[in-house]
Structure 1
């Protein structure tokens, strides 16, 4: 029986398959597009290997692509048919169970099994990576942090994979509010592997959450060759660059980034890239900068996907695109489709994610597009502290939080707007958006001096 580089036995896996598998894991950790080819090579060399098949299964679900998940489910079911599980190692049986649960739509069950796997086998990098991404997709910040933190003591500093684990840990620390520690750990990861784009991403998030957008731009500029092309995270990191630039008030530069990197004629149309494009344009939409032609092209891209009910977080961003493009009937159809689907999906995690958060958010976005701001407030207010349960990061979900702020301002709910902006500005005192919104609130309250002071503070922060 073959043993991987971390000492785990691998059933039905020869030396050639093992080499491809190890390469695939390395590609996975560093978000290299080549991971699909190296995984295919491992499958060709060892089609009955549970470890390799589990890797392929996880790849089928991590991108939140409905068609990829369906294809992976069929392939994995074919692999499991006639499989003698008695000859598998305990670790392999756990991967088999985790991958099966995830492919069947039970994300939370899969996450629990992967958690048990990492306790029993803390050097199983596949379980750690899949579990970390699971925690991101389900918005579980504490597990995002502790799943990796709980395994790190089992890793030697000399192991080349400890670096990307630190990059993962940095993101978990950031999402849990430990911003300075997250930056420290993320920079330590990059000292080992400068092209660790997930580590770069973790550090960038710390700048976003602390309003250090000028530092974020400088950080990304200094590392342009390490992140700006040729990775599975390239578009997302460009999105972060655009968010920083938006805070400076340079809308022209933001749109240049959008056109060159986020969405254009050569874009692949992947859900995770389209949602970045939607989230950026939506921030402009909230500022009454509609950008009709870009919205139309983005809405076309979402429509071409013909997505069914697979991941509620994606649905919300598709609705953003439809609303931004003025296609409210199309947004309503998506909501109606999801309502019908909810009738009978026991055991599917996306059911609760859709019913509890996804549909209220989608309905609120549609109400906002209809300028029914009071209804948008009524829909978003009950879920604002639970938005994390349908996935994404704090930075991504802020587009929805800002929608609530804007809806409260536009509906005359000044008491609520004051509360929301007090929360935001004390959590993130350096944020031009927060202060410009406060200025508009003070205008509504008839306090021109306070409005002018808030407006001046926003301008000073943008220019810093």
Structure 2
């Protein structure tokens, strides 16, 4: 029987189809654009269970309301096609995803991973869905199924690294990321995991030097990975108040690829907001970002994404914000597996974001304060969810709650001790609470 590039048996035998399947697997794991080449040959192979499943997965990664409709024809063909037990199990993962049954998607991914630990594509799919519900421990467990079989495969170690990082096991995360890079120095997901570790540990200058050294290898990656790794580098630039570098990273990389894609959009939103919170003039850059997001309509595919769409629309004062807010309320009221995430986390966060945009900062701080302790339930990484913490902090300061802001800022200094925008704000807050000696100490730190 034919095997794929990882040694998994495959029913298909046509050379162009096998090449497309392998391009999908390797491209998906390495964030390369060749993952989409399966789309160019799959219509000639309607009998391929695995090929049609992979094509359907690609459509679902649009993360848009129309994605299930676009994936449905490929799902139908995959379910009707002959295949091995593993291939048919992959098709059932797609079926559950199209149906919106994410708990079933996750259950099936882990079942496949246990039986077929070399099916790395399905393990990565499972991590994606676990990430979106904030289950870090399960992300790590799922990735570890790929060992020891995947010991010499870099993408196994980078998946394990990110699982460790999301579990706050930073030493283990760094070791796994560096093991991945020993095997494949250009592995972008290993770069990404190590960027997370360095950010969390306040290794800002080291993070800049590391990411700048590997950034040339991101040039030909898919839009998400190229823009997202540059987003991480931009966070380090913000800490060092390298304003020109942040703006250049935004213009040349973070907002320079697939501007209609969900992940590129939220990366742009959160980076623009962070720049403004750090005192950087972003000029007219909000206009294009908000206009592209407005074209999505009231998109509530994901609470994590929807909240960032809402920030852009309310910040730009676009009328589409009202429809999105109504859609968020509807999702919060709808009976579904993720109702608690929408009703108890996303909805108060959305109310806080809307209040922040109108200048009602006391209300914004109150609503966001309700949501923040459970923010992991809507997905996103620690670094990404910090966006919501920063909106909350901005509201505390602007609502005159300087004592509360002092608490937040000193806690933030545990992982960004020398952050220039952070310390500028902290000095201001110490002045506001009547502690000028401490304000002076902070300003001395800035002068060093």
Same fold (TM over 0.5): yes
Alpha-carbon separation, structure 2, partners of 1:459 and 1:247: 15
Within the candidate set 265, 287, 291, 1:296 is matched to 287
> How many residue pairs were aligned?
447
The alignment's TM-score, normalised by the length of structure 1, stands at 0.88
Contact conserved, 1:13 with 1:49, CA < 8 A, in 2?
Answer: no
Structure 1 counterpart SS, 2:336: coil
Relative to structure 1, is the Cα distance of residues 342 and 449 closer, same or farther in structure 2, using a 3 angstrom cutoff? closer
Task: Tell me, in whole angstroms, the C-alpha distance in 1 between the residues paired with 2:66 and 2:34.
Answer: 20
Kept in 2, the 8 Å contact 1:201–1:237? The answer is yes
1:27–1:321 CA distance, 2 compared to 1 (3 A): same
Map 1:32-431 to 2 at 5 A: 32-37=32-37, 39-41=38-40, 43-44=42-43, 46-77=45-76, 79-80=78-79, 83=80, 88-157=83-152, 162-232=153-223, 233-263=225-255, 267-287=258-278, 289=280, 291-327=282-318, 329-344=319-334, 346-347=336-337, 349=338, 351-431=339-419
1:324 touches 1:369 (CA, 8 Å); kept in 2?
Answer: yes
C-alpha distance in structure 2 between counterparts of 1:433 and 1:357, whole Å = 28
Kept after mapping to 1: 8 A contact 2:178/2:190? yes
Q: How far apart are 1:132 and its partner, in Å?
A: 2.0
Contact 2:259 2:265 in 1 (8 A): no
User: Offset at 1:129?
Assistant: 1.6
Report the Cα distance in structure 2 between the residues aligned to 1:436 and 1:110, rounded to whole angstroms.
46
Once residues 92 and 340 of structure 2 are traced to their aligned partners in structure 1, the CA distance between those partners, rounded to angstroms, is: 22
Q: Secondary structure at the match of 1:153?
A: coil
Residues in 1 aligned to 2:419 and 2:76: alpha-carbon distance in whole angstroms: 49
Question: Would you say the 8 A contact 1:432–1:457 is kept in 2?
Answer: no
Structure 1 residues 237-246 or 90-99, which shifts more? 90-99
Structure 1 residues 373, 288: CA separation in 2 closer, same or farther (over 3 Å shift)?
farther
Q: CA deviation at 1:368?
A: 1.0
Given that 2:352 and 2:368 are in contact with CA atoms closer than 8 Å, whether structure 1 keeps it comes out as: yes
| CA offsets 1:206-233 (integer angstroms, 9 cap, x no match) | 1111121211111122223211444331
Distance 2:184 2:264 in 1: 25
Which consecutive residues of structure 2, in runs of 5 or more, have no partner in the other structure? none
Moved more, 335-344 or 164-173: 335-344
Instruction: Tell me: CA distance 1:243–1:124, structure 2 relative to 1, closer, same or farther (3 Å).
Output: same
Q: 1:155: Cα distance to partner?
A: 2.5
Q: Which residue does the alignment assign to 2:29?
A: 29
Task: Tell whether the 8 Å contact from 1:17 to 1:41 is kept in structure 2 after alignment.
Answer: no
3-state DSSP of counterpart to 1:398: helix
Q: Distance in 2 between matches of 1:33 and 1:18?
A: 17
1:284 and 1:8, CA in 2 relative to 1: closer, same or farther beyond 3 A?
closer
Listed one character per residue, the Cα deviations across residues 440-463 of structure 1 (whole Å, up to 9, x for unaligned) are 331221001101212333554xxx
Q: CA RMSD in A?
A: 2.5
Whether the 8 Å contact between 1:357 and 1:390 is mirrored in structure 2 is: yes
